[in-house]
Amino acid sequence: MKTWLITGCSSGIGKGIAKAVLESGDQAIVTARNKDKVMDIVEAYPEAALAVSLDVCSQDSIKNAVKEAYDKFGTIDVLVNNAGYGYRSAVEIEAVQTLYQTNLFGPIELIKAVLPKMREQKSGYILNVTSIAAARSAVGSGYYASSKAAL
């Protein structure tokens, strides 16, 4: 049995991955900025799932989520960096900074948070969910595409 920490589980790919992981018999830390949005997953798998509030733009939030995961399950075998943020516009710097923090720098910080224990246990997987936009960007999506390509 593996323990997965999955970001961005409130909808879409993250929610689908979480459900597939739990249905297969593994354990999952399901995260969203507001953990109330993932409580339906935990209610369906109360012994194997843990809901955690996680804002990948916040170092404190990252540290807390990883700590809660280790406190509950003792390990993280798989990290899925799935949380993402889209932005289509010109050059509003605050929005661009949030996009990069969410799509690139936050996932890097999560990798840094779990990698020491993975190295210690000599096993683990890190999956980074990017986008087709990394290869084929739409007009006005250059920042999004570049953040996903960088990841």
Cite the active site residues. 144
CB-based burial, 119-142: b 16+ in 10 Å, e otherwise: eeeeebebebbbbebeeebeeebb
Q: Quote the DSSP letter at residue 57.
A: T
Which of 130, 38, 122 lies closest to 80 in space, CA to CA? 130
39/62 Cα distance (integer angstroms): 19
* Count of C-beta atoms within a 10 Å radius of residue 22: 20
Residue 38's φ and ψ, nearest 5 degrees, are: -120, 10
